[in-house]
Amino acid sequence: MPQDRRYEYRVVDIESLPSAESVGKQLNQQAKEGWQLVDRIDSGGTTVSLIFERPIE
C-alpha cells in the first residue's frame, strides 16, 4: 500500500488590491521554494491570504 503523502502549509497575507506584477512576484518566489498555491482567502477587508502547500520529504 502506498505511503500517505504529508504536507506543510504556509499562509502569506498581501494587500487585497495588489498589482498583477506584485502577485506574480510573490507566486514565483514561493514556487522557487517548492510551494504550490492551493487556495486564497479574501476576508472582505484589506488583505488576501494566499495558502501554499508543499510535500514534506
Over the stretch 1-57, which tens digit does the pLDDT of each residue have?
A: 457 889 999 999 987 677 788 888 889 999 999 999 999 998 887 888 999 999 998
> Is residue 2 in some structural domain?
no
Q: Note whether residue 48 is domain-resident.
A: yes
pLDDT at 2: 58
pLDDT at 16: 67
Per-residue model confidence (pLDDT) at position 1: 47
- Judge whether 1 lies within some domain: no
Q: How far is 6 from 4, CA to CA, in rounded Å? A: 6
Instruction: Say how many domains are in the chain.
Output: 1
> Quick check: is 37 in a domain?
yes
pTM: 0.80
Strands of the chain, DSSP E? 7-15, 36-42, 47-55
Residue 28 lies in a domain: yes
Residue 38 in domain: yes
**Residue-number span of the structural domain to which 48 is assigned:** 7-55
